[in-house]
Amino acid sequence: MTTIGYGDITPASQGEKGFMIFVALMATNIFAYTFSQISEIVKNEEAKKQAYNKMMHGINNEMNKRGLSLLLQHKVRKYYEHLQYENE
């Protein structure tokens, strides 16, 4: 987060040291929060993908059970792909 401890730039006064401690803590917290938010977004996207795959698996099973033609099955899958694309 900062160059504290490398010796190239060091705080000299107590005020500077206090400021650097504050900046280091804030930078660490901001980094952690940002990382947390990114991981939450990835987790939500993965959950959406799994729900879509589960729904499509159920639809495929139902179409096979009812004996729909391959052409009609393809059209139904394309329709649900389109709906998924529109929702995103």
Tokens of 53: 């795959």
20-47 b/e with 16+ CB inside 10 Å = b?
A: beeeeeeeeeeeeeeeeeeeeeeeeeee
Cα(36)–Cα(67) distance, integer angstroms: 47
Of 30, 25, 31, 29, which is closest to residue 17 (Cα–Cα)? Answer: 25
Q: What is the mean pLDDT of residues 19-33?
A: 91
Q: What is the mean pLDDT of residues 10-29?
A: 89
User: Is the pLDDT confidence value at 49 over 70?
Assistant: yes
> What local confidence, expressed as pLDDT, does residue 1 receive?
61
Q: What is the mean pLDDT of residues 49-69?
A: 93
Cα(11)–Cα(17) distance, integer angstroms: 5
pTM score > 0.85 for this model? no
